[in-house]
Amino acid sequence: MESLNREPDLRVRIGPLVLPNPVGVASGTFGYGQEYQDLVDIDALGALYTKAVSIDPKSGNRPPRLVETPSGLINSIGLANPGLPAFLDEKIPYLQSLGCPVVVNVVGETESEYTTIVEAIEKRIGVPREGMKGPVDGYELNLSCPNVEKGGMAFGTEPELVERITRKVRKITRRALVVKLSPNVTDIAQIALAAEAGKADAVSCINTVVGMAIDVKTCKPLIARGIGGLSGPAIRPIGVACVWKVARAVRIPVIGLGGIGCANDALEYLLAGASAIQVGTAIFSNPRAPLEILEGVKTWMRERGVEKLKDIPSLFRFPS
């Protein structure tokens, strides 16, 4: 293998959107960006996937909301967010100032809430112009949150519903449309195919894995709601397997996430078939992780003479 002298081509196409590099920050771990602006060069990220936006403000679940488990974190935040009107008025101006692509994570309790939110954002920001970065460059439909009663995962487990919601949202936006998939299903590839049939530009997988931890002293669960969503290194092998299955099933790009903390973790996902990745829980322990991962992926590519990021999946040596 020949090493590469020039900078590798890291661009990733997600429908109409070109990400400058494959490393994004996962929804729910980075707020709407502002919280990390002192610590991270946000403009250098491949993409920022925002905290979920719902129509009404959500105060979230009662605490405790977090517990660390071996190599993992169980959270039960409950999609706490300021709601659509506050997002439009207070968050959009800040997102406009960012140099990286912004993908807004959208969550609804009913099918129509997904379209209402996307419609309202589209109305506020207008039609995308060629080559212009808007305050919002795409949407990630959260059809897979395990921490709310209604919506979220309830939609993400039914292929017909996933296809229908995706199709409805597709009709109201020309921006990139990503569907986030849950691993808490029998066959994740079926759900991915449904998103593709609904004309999604990409799927992202995986959302958190349903988990529970119990305090044997108090005989109570360690988070107030009992079950929550497990993230972190503990779920990485699940995520890699899901990406591998999904990437074989669909033709649209797959965005891999779940327990990525270093460049090698990201490369596992890329070899398994991911076109891009997201870093989540690792940001909590090291806000520099996403950009360190980006550097590590570049180094790996240079050392192996890989010119283009999109060539990485073809290097996976495994009969398919």
Partner 1 sequence: MSAVATIPVPKLDRPGPSPDNADKKPMMRQFNAPVVFNQAVSQGWKLLAFSWPEGLTPPIPGQFFTFNPQGLQAGEAGLLRRPLAFAFFGRGLAFALYQIRGKATQALAAFAEGGSLDLIAPLGNSFPQPLADEQVFLAGGGIGIGPLLYLRSSFHGVEAAGAGAPTLPSRAGKLFLGFRSASQVPSFTLAAERWEKQNQDANGAARHPKPYRQSVLAGLADLQHCLDQAFIATDDGSKGFKGTVVDALLQDSAQTAPIATATRIYACGPAPMLSALDALALERGSPAHLSAEQWMACGVGACQGCVLPARAGGYLRACADGPVFPQGAILWKA
Residues marked as catalytic: 145
C-beta of residue 223 within 8 angstroms of C-beta of residue 65: yes
Q: Binder to partner 1 among 4, 44, 66, 125 (CB under 8 A)?
A: 66
258 lies in the binding site for partner 1 (CB under 8 A): no
208 marked as part of a ligand binding site:
yes
Question: What is the C-alpha separation between 291 and 300, in angstroms, rounded?
Answer: 14
Alpha helices in the chain (DSSP H): 84-86, 92-96, 111-125, 153-156, 159-170, 188-197, 236-249, 263-272, 281-285, 289-304
Site map 107..126 versus partner 1, x via CB under 8 A: --------------------
CA–centroid distance for 32 within its chain: 13
Strand order in the sheet with 66-69: 66-69, 72-75, 227-231, 209-212
DSSP 217: T
Question: What is the C-alpha separation between 55 and 118, in angstroms, rounded?
Answer: 10
Q: Please identify, using beta-carbon distances, which residue of 16 and 83 lies nearer to partner 1.
A: 83
Q: Binder to partner 1 among 41, 43, 56, 62 (CB under 8 A)?
A: 62
Q: Binder to partner 1 among 51, 91, 175, 298 (CB under 8 A)?
A: 51
Binders of partner 1 in range 220-239 (CB under 8 A): 232-233
Q: SS3 for 176?
A: strand
Q: Please identify, using beta-carbon distances, which residue of 66 and 197 lies nearer to partner 1.
A: 66
191 lies in the binding site for partner 1 (CB under 8 A): no
Nearest approach in angstroms of CB 75 to partner 1 is 6
In one-letter notation, the amino acid at residue 254 is V
105 lies in the binding site for partner 1 (CB under 8 A): no
Q: Which residue has the tokens 């004309």?
A: 199
Radius of gyration of the chain (CA): 18
- Single out the segment in contact with partner 1 by CB under 8 A; choices: 4-12, 54-62, 248-256, 263-271: 54-62
211 marked as part of a ligand binding site:
no
What DSSP element (H or E) covers 132? Answer: none
Q: Please identify, using beta-carbon distances, which residue of 28 and 273 lies nearer to partner 1.
A: 28
287 lies in the binding site for partner 1 (CB under 8 A): yes
5 marked as part of a ligand binding site:
no
36 lies in the binding site for partner 1 (CB under 8 A): yes
Question: What is the C-alpha separation between 137 and 34, in angstroms, rounded?
Answer: 17
50 lies in the binding site for partner 1 (CB under 8 A): no
Chain residues in the site for partner 1 (CB under 8 A)? 28-31, 35-36, 38-39, 51, 59-60, 62-68, 70-73, 75, 77, 80, 232-233, 261, 281, 283-288
